[in-house]
Structure 1
Amino acid sequence: MPVNIESDVFPFHKLDSVGLQEVLKHLTLMDVFELSYTTANVKNVLGETSLPIKAIKISYNSNQPSIEIASGTSTFLWTFGYPEGVEMSDAGEYKVGRFLYKCMKSENGIHTDHFDIEQGFIAVLKYICSVFNCSNAVISELIIDLGVIEDCRTVCSHYTGFKSIERLAIYQSVPNHVAILSFGMNFDWILTNLIPKDMFLGIGVTEHVLTPRLDTFDLLPTPKRFNKILDLDHFGMSESEWITSEDFLNLNPKTAILMNTSLTDEDINLFIKQWLNSTSDKLEWIEVQVQGRNLSKESILADLQVQRDDYHLQNSRCSSIYRKFETSQVIPFIFPLDSKKVSRANNAGAATISIYRNTFFFHVKNDGPITPQLEMFLPERRREAVGIFLNGNGIVANEVEHAGFQFQNQIGPRDEVFPLRQMVQMELERFELRRLRGQPNEV
């Protein structure tokens, strides 16, 4: 709770810089923030000899906007909203600029139910930067929900002075046509001035383009192209209908997510062949989702020399720090057991090809943790479905009595086996992704 005292119990502000640094290194960021509200002298001293901040995470979301800073030893969090499941106590009122916030306090954060996602948010950020040394801080994440931020350019302009923007995520929780149009007009400015290293674009923008039609012209709705995002090493898009075959074959990222594309199986086949004939080792993985249909494995793997993949035996999923969507949460991609492997000539590299429903995942190398295969075992029950077998006769759920997980040994050459546990994991991943986006889960 902020304390307003007329005299110092401890002459904190009279310490020299060496003595002050010695004291500060034993304090948490929460301690320093609270100290800044004791006296004006103490606040001024903290501003002059403050703890260096390494990273700042900014989230403009509709549920709980937040500012989180991190030093080498601790973190401090300010939220506009009370986090669930966190033990809090009354912290009284904090005056930040012209705003007065009634706050609660947790172990490493201050939380208020006051909701001012623009001016009030910036006032708190400026105060934090006046107390802590943020001169060399990077913005580790800048997440903006256009459902609550109408003027994206103005918001982004506050972050152009930071050392770097590691990740930028733009999405929309509720429709806001004005915000979408504003973002579309200012997209190039935002990328030019923020220069993010990684970006997720969770919206699509439709433009009306004058298109020739026989003897006249029509204004036709056309997906806007966001060409600058393709220059980044790491990017993802939820609406990629504007990506052409030529765009796809000319991509040169480290990681990429292209959702809701209109790419064909033949486009993906050409992409694999192009990678096999290339000498570049830049690509780590790329994920492509097509809209309105399932992918054809036969077409994608046509004229390719493929082998049964063995990478998933040592690592069951791609847990890349770049496989994120609208939030900070990493969502791993689980490799199907029927994944295939393609290899470049002269042992110049190999890649895992995973095709599951409408999704193609091309994995060359992993930057995340290694997750070995889980032991496939189900607890004993009276009767248990142990696998789904796809064959010419349709889908069959095989059941055995008093057994754990079993594999069939006699399977025809065209049959495929999908262990039940893995299918459940894949569906849970889809469920979690829909939940994070606020999409309905339809049965």
Structure 2
Amino acid sequence: MSTVFPLFSLPFLPLKEVFDHFEPQEILIISLCSQRSKNYAISYRGPSKNIRIALNSGANSFLSYYEDSMFFGLVDVTEISKLPKVSTLETVKIGNYPKIPVTMGSVRGLTCLKTYWENRIIGMKEMINYARKIFNRDIYHVTLGKQRTENDHRRVVDLVMKIQNSISTIYCDFPLKNHADLDMILERCKYTQGLSLFVSNTKDYSPSKQPNFNVDSVHIYHSYWIKPIHFMAMNCKYIILQESLLTNEDINTFLKHWMNGGCFPLKNLFIRNEEPENYEDVLNGWEYTEIDDEVKRDFVNEGDDLQSIYGGSDIKRPIDDVIATIKNSSRQFRMIVWPDIDGNSHLQTGSEPQL
């Protein structure tokens, strides 16, 4: 014989300890049980709420969260036409909608609560507002995938910006059909920390306005549209440009810019050219120290990713004596600025031979 445990009959401290052991998704689900449980979930302060919430819009529309670079499911939003054919289905009140059908399921391999709506965009709006209220925090990250319907990206960006004005990071990975779509994202989406663009078919693209490159990180995969005017405007810790068409002269000019105090936060710059490029001339005009190829130095970025650097050329910024190491090959240019996040300097060396 099963019995129901009266969870909310517990005193405050034992109840908080129970919530401390809940996963964020469990807190969300409990909050939907009653107004009392919702009120407690909102007022609760503890480790289960120390998360970053992400909105994913593409083939699926769902909220997830991540901790230590690991993603976990929260809630999926889908059309009521995809409602499972079962005899009975639980319903919950979300916002102004008193009877939203829900089931447990998965999306992209993530276990999550599935909700069913007459209008998917309205469902996204309600779930964003609900999650923000429960976890007492804004949406941190937005992913835009392939559009399910025309103007999906515009609707989602406008929706999020209207709700909370800005986000920390955005990741875009979809085939570009209209250059205006990418312009819209870069202009309307107020990202404050990171921009990642994996948008294909942009070879002839030129943004109508200068994008915001004054953020912690910029990663652009199809970056052939990045011209010197865009490159020089970057003021980031981490810059990755792949399939680039930047030349030796462009990079040399950027180095001069950095030497004079431009792009001051820079810690890691990586450029991969679409075509082979002779980078031997990129250090022309600068004094540098050649490091033996067998000398290994470890560089750790803010994501705790370790890069082993063998050899290279060290240059010094005259305004503050900061050291940067340059590594280049026929297709790749890399520049790291010491010290790294762990305090390792250019003087730290290893004895392992280069493989």
User: TM-score, normalized by length of structure 2?
Assistant: 0.70
SS of 2:225's equivalent? Answer: coil
Of 287, 291, 312, the match for 1:309: 291
- Partner residue, 2:145: 145
Q: 1:55, 1:139 within 8 Å by CA — same for their partners in 2?
A: no
- Matching residue's letter, 2:171: A
Q: Identify the residue that residue 36 of structure 1 maps to in structure 2.
A: 31
Measured in 1, the distance between the counterparts of 2:128 and 2:257 equals 47
Cα deviation code 1:396-439 (max 9, x no counterpart): xxxxxxxxxxx7xxxxxxxxxxx5x4xxxxxxxxxxxxxxxxxx
Distance 1:248 1:340, change over 3 A: same
Say whether the 8 Å CA contact 2:259–2:319 is kept in structure 1.
no
CA displacement at 1:64 relative to structure 2? 6.4
Cα distance in 2 between the residues matched to 1:226 and 1:40: 48
Question: Which whole-Å CA distance do the structure 2 matches of 1:176 and 1:297 have between them?
Answer: 31
Q: Distance in 2 between matches of 1:346 and 1:228?
A: 28
User: Equivalences for 1:298-377 in 2 at 5 Å?
Assistant: 298-309=280-291, 315-321=297-303, 335=309, 337-345=310-318, 348-365=321-338, 366-367=340-341
* 2:215 is aligned with 1:184: no
What does residue range 400-411 of structure 1 map to in structure 2 within 5 Å? none
Asked whether the 8 Å contact 1:240–1:261 carries over to 2, the reply is yes
| TM-aligned CA distance change 1:238 to 1:103, over 3 Å | same
2:199 to 203, 217, 221: 203
Q: CA deviation at 1:351?
A: 0.4
The change in CA–CA distance for 1:284 and 1:117 in structure 2 (over 3 A counts) is farther
Counterpart position of 2:170: 168
User: Could you tell me how far apart the structure 1 residues matched to 2:24 and 2:232 are?
Assistant: 48
Q: Does 1:264 find its partner at 2:253?
A: no
Q: Deviation string for 1:332-354 (max 9, x for gaps)? A: 6553x242111234871110101
**Pairwise CA distance, 1:46:** 2.8
Do the aligned partners of 2:260 and 2:317 also contact (CA within 8 Å) in 1? yes
Relative distance call for 1:349 and 1:156 in structure 2 (3 A) is same
Q: Is the 8 A contact 2:279 2:330 kept in 1?
A: no
Unaligned runs of 5+ in 1: 1-6, 82-91, 208-220, 322-329, 377-406, 408-418, 422-443
The letter for the 2-side match of 1:95 is T
Could you tell me how far 1:145 is from its partner in structure 2? 1.2
Aligned-residue offset at 1:151: 2.1
The alignment partner of 2:235 has SS state of: coil
**Would the aligned equivalents of 1:285 and 1:363 in 2 still touch at CA under 8 Å?**
yes
For 2:160, what is the secondary structure of its paired residue?
coil
CA displacement 1:280-301 (0-9 Å, x = unmatched): 743222222322x222132112
* 2:73 alignment partner, SS class: strand
CA contact (8 A) 2:244 2:272 kept: yes
> Contact 2:59–2:146 at 8 Å: present in 1 too?
no
Q: Return closer, same or farther for 1:10/1:316 CA change in 2, 3 Å cut-off.
A: same
Aligned to 1:224: 207
Separation of aligned partners in 1, 2:343 and 2:144: 28
Secondary structure at 2:54's aligned position in 1? strand
Report whether the alignment pairs 1:248 with 2:231. Answer: yes
Contact 2:195 2:218 in 1 (8 A): yes
Distance 1:367 1:311 in 2: 24
Which residue identity is paired with 1:159?
A: V
Once residues 29 and 185 of structure 2 are traced to their aligned partners in structure 1, the CA distance between those partners, rounded to angstroms, is 39
What secondary structure is seen at the aligned counterpart in 1 of 2:219? strand
**CA separation in 1, counterparts of 2:229 and 2:332?**
20
Count of aligned positions: 327
Identical counterparts, % of pairs: 15
Write the distance in 2 (CA, Å) between the matches of 1:20 and 1:103.
Answer: 25
The residue matched to 1:159 in structure 2 has which SS? helix
1:56 paired residue number = 52
Specify the SS of the correspondent of 1:362: strand
**Contact 2:176–2:200 (8 Å) recurs in 1:** no
Gaps of at least 5 residues in structure 2 are: 78-87
Aligned CA distance change for structure 1 residues 345 and 50 (closer, same or farther; 3 Å): closer
CA contact (8 A) 1:55 1:140 kept: no
Q: Matches of 2:139 and 2:273 in 1, distance apart?
A: 32
